[in-house]
Structure 1
Amino acid sequence: MSFFDSNLLRSGEYHDWLVQGFTTSLQLLGASFVIALPLGVAIALMRTSNSRLLKAIGAGLVEGIRNVPLLAHLLFWYFAFPELLPETVKLALYDSNPEFICAVIALSLYAGVHMAEDIRSGIRAVPSAQMEAARSLGLGRIASLRLVLLPQAIRIAVPPLLSQTVNLWKDTSVATVIGAAEMMYQAARVETATFRSVEAFTFATLAYLTVSLVISLAAQLYARRFPVRT
């Protein structure tokens, strides 16, 4: 094999690293969002509950998670949390993909509490008469929340939730500190192997920018299509 052919093969390999990093970043975004959104709904319902205990638990979760840097969350879930698990569970975690799993846990919790505040604002924006009307029609509290309050609250909260999704997408880059093979990790890997820092980090920058702009555009289109009426 000639030197030229070898360089071509290596260039293809480095390209594959970047594409794999981009794919992993998208997977981190998708998995974290799927967990963070229902978690945010649950915490928002706790914080708007009539129960003092549930309110206190919800407030404790929000304040305890959002006031700690994401980097600290990642390091805790990757280094400290596995040590608290039974040996068999810890070995199973290490045999799967601990970097990805721990990154998803940290990102989901961090995004979830921020989404909870957006959803709570949406719940507060729904007139109380809506719940009263639902109860007068014979619906229980759970049914009224599920069928009347939450659909309206989530619709109101969609624009800020999409903004939180942009933040979540950008936050996936922090997972590089625990060795998750996402985009920044792979870009640094290519830069170390080739010293072609301009190409590697330009690819990562444009990828983050493109996905962020797509999500932001979706938020703008939604706001125009479904304006919030008060």
Structure 2
Amino acid sequence: MVAQRQDAWTEEDDLILAEVTLRHIREGSTQLAAFEEVGQRLGRTPAACGFRWNSLVRKKYESAIQIAKAQRNQLKARSKKRTSTAESDRVQELSAPGTNQELAQEMTPELDVRTEVTEQAESTLTYDDVIRFLRQQKESYKKMRQVDQLLNQKEEEIKKLREENEQVKKELESIQKEYDMMNEDYQALMRIMDRARKLAFLGDDEQEERISFKMDKNGNLERVEKG
């Protein structure tokens, strides 16, 4: 059993998919047959090739698809014309003077029946291919729905993460402001303590007894001289 690839599609893979599919359209084959051929060449499932074609690659080759369909119609018209001409020539040959008229009359219904059977067989094969392809498209559609649901879930998660990130930023800004305020208070307190130490060493014993400090309601030290 050949392992099926699960890696991402490359530009070369897309080019092979487009080339093979357009060739099948041009030759009058089915897209399902094209997807099976591409799957064998790339090591992928026909469903994966069909999904890739219809979801992305097809949009890039709309003009080429129309040209391929026109070429297919021309080939069909030429083929029918050649077949019709050959059958007509055969009947005329059998109906020519000197030939067996009864044989010609017998051959004409037989040729009509053969043509009708061939057209019915081609129509049956086409319908079977369409049914198979539609079934695969149904599975591909289910996978697309699952991917869409997964993307929606991821978008909701990303939205929540962004909201949480904004909340954390606000909290961080608030903490930073509080830290800045505390740091300013600390620096002010250190300056007061340093000034107090300097004043304590400048005076003599008597001045030391007459001078004291008290803290006001704002937390600042004030120099107070005793009477």
TM-score where L is the length of structure 1: 0.28
User: Which structure's residues are more often strand, by fraction?
Assistant: 2
Answer 1 or 2: which has greater helix percent.
1
Higher relative CO (Cα under 8 Å, sequence separation at least 6) belongs to 1
- Is the radius of gyration larger for structure 1 or structure 2? 2
